[in-house]
Amino acid sequence: MKSLNRGFTLVELMIVVAVIAVITMIAVPAYNEQVRKSRRGLAKSDLLELTQCAERFHTTNGTYVGFDAAAVCNVNGRDDANTYDFAAAAITRTTFTLSATAQGGQTDDKCGDLGINQANVRTHSAGTAADRCWE
């Protein structure tokens, strides 16, 4: 009676391992980029919400002076991954600038830190086109 050897050779197993490694090398960076893009989208949404809060504060008080984003809007800390730190700066009677500074793994994002002011001028700290980061 002839015995049948069933199983995989070492070469076949190594080919499977190599294919899985190649797929992983492609998939993981793409996944991480999508996660960063999603977190950037949340930060942009939060900045726009802060802008609306600042405008409501200005409508009520006739000035931006005294606007405290954390107290008025409660946006800071909503992102449980702590990927951006929100701040208001350059606050005068007629102007303000809001920023979202990337934290942790989000610092690898292609757009870097985000910003917006009272004239709806949107900025970022990376070398890519601003419209790409704010679309």
- Give tens-digit pLDDT for 16-37: 999 999 999 999 999 999 999 9
Rg (CA), the chain: 24
The pLDDT of residue 89: 87
The pLDDT of residue 90: 86
The pLDDT of residue 8: 82
